[in-house]
Structure 1
Amino acid sequence: MSDGGYGDFEFERRFVARDVPAELLAQSPPTLVVQAYFLAADGYALRLRVQSDTARAALGPATDPVAVLEEHAAAFDFCALTAKGPAAGGTRYEAERELDVSVGVQMLRRGGLRIVKNRHSMWLGEDGWVVDVFGGENHPLVVAECERSGPVVDLQIPDFCVTEVTDDTRFSNDGLVHRPFGTWASEWEHELAVRGPRFAQTFGHNEVLHEEL
């Protein structure tokens, strides 16, 4: 949730990532995230998320979010319910309320369209970034996000970012629960090969950041 005078609005840019240096990921131990969408339609979403900074799970294409939830239920230490509106130009309404973790785990056991991922948080250049490594039906998708308290302009983009997907709703988490990346990855790879990488030119100056480890 934004704290820069914009109320309940978030500002972010998202990129498909590849070849993220293992050393960089190792510098940021992952946060295990299991989340479910109880509403995800026309850009509107109601999301419930639990996460743990101590649980460790190796995620692959066969990973079951429910199995991960059960295995690590006692380790989750944060839960939030979030209401989201449609995204436009890197801006989205987002109102979040922290919940009791035990209640959140019980709700996730009972329903929703679920996603599991490992989230790495890191400082790159002048910004904080998160790198989400998805498991289950969304494997092998990796998405890097930069979020600010105001519009994300004049961004230093790490060189492991392949192409920008800020306004591509297929890559939003509430899009992925309905159409997991694993079911259309080859189609998208062909699309990328034909049209090439794209980076938005409406957010000021883009600069490629070559991270030195």
Structure 2
Amino acid sequence: MAQEIERKFLVSGEFKSQAFAQDRIIQGYICSDRGRTVRVRIRDNRGYLTIKGASNASGTSRYEWERELPLPEAEELMKLCEPGIIDKTRYLVRSGKHIFEIDEFYGDNDGLVVAEVELTSEDEAFNKPSFIGEEVTGDRRYYNSQLMKKPYKNWR
């Protein structure tokens, strides 16, 4: 079983000049129930289907299964998604041996910028870049499936 282990942070500084790659991502959810999500993602011109399970108590680890799909199939599956779409640009920034994925959100989540780092174990050490702010690992409000239902614009 594939386990995703990651930590999530708010971004509090400039990061774009450090990015070595970036992609536009549009995603929707066929299922966004607590403890299980089924996501359809279009990243540039590639489609993906992802299934995620419930997070552990710390919010750091959960089951994840992902497969690439032909773009036309992903576009058709997007029509089956629940209301609300996540629109963001993902920037990749190296820090030591890790790569931080920084998501800059648009639309109803405009103004939110979140960074994630994937780890091989929950206690793995990593170097935090200077733009990393408050840790929000395990805070369900920052899950994309929740941002679809309760967008950042409504938090204020």
Gaps of 5+ in 1: 1-6, 53-75, 187-213
Match of 1:14 among 8, 15, 18: 8
Q: CA deviation at 1:106?
A: 2.4
Identify the residue that residue 75 of structure 2 maps to in structure 1.
105
Q: Distance in 1 between matches of 2:65 and 2:51?
A: 5
Using structure 2 for the length normalisation, give the TM-score: 0.90
Q: Distance in 1 between matches of 2:15 and 2:34?
A: 35
Greater fraction helix: 1
Q: CA deviation at 1:110?
A: 5.0
**Amino acid aligned to 1:81:** L
Identify the residue that residue 192 of structure 1 maps to in structure 2.
none
Q: CA deviation at 1:126?
A: 2.6
**Amino acid aligned to 1:130:** E
Q: Distance in 1 between matches of 2:13 and 2:22?
A: 17
Whether the 8 Å contact between 1:120 and 1:131 is mirrored in structure 2 is yes
Determine if the alignment matches structure 1 residue 40 to structure 2 residue 32. yes
Q: Distance in 1 between matches of 2:39 and 2:131?
A: 28
Q: CA RMSD in A?
A: 1.6
The Cα offsets for residues 159-191 of structure 1, whole Å up to 9 and x where unpaired, read as 21220011101101111111011110x3xxxxx
Higher Rg of the two aligned structures:
1
**Amino acid aligned to 1:42:** R
Relative to structure 2, which stretch is displaced further, 33-42 or 15-24?
15-24
Q: Distance in 2 between matches of 1:45 and 1:121?
A: 24
How do 1:150-165 residues align onto structure 2 when only pairs under 5 Å count? 150-151=121-122, 153-165=124-136
Identify the residue that residue 47 of structure 2 maps to in structure 1.
79
Determine if the alignment matches structure 1 residue 30 to structure 2 residue 45. no
Q: CA deviation at 1:8?
A: 1.2
Whether the 8 Å contact between 1:129 and 1:146 is mirrored in structure 2 is yes
The Cα offsets for residues 109-144 of structure 1, whole Å up to 9 and x where unpaired, read as 454331010001121123111110000101110000
Identify the residue that residue 183 of structure 1 maps to in structure 2.
154
Percent identity over the alignment?
A: 29
Whether the 8 Å contact between 2:101 and 2:117 is mirrored in structure 1 is yes
Q: Distance in 1 between matches of 2:33 and 2:114?
A: 21
Greater fraction strand: 2
Give the length in aligned residue pairs: 153
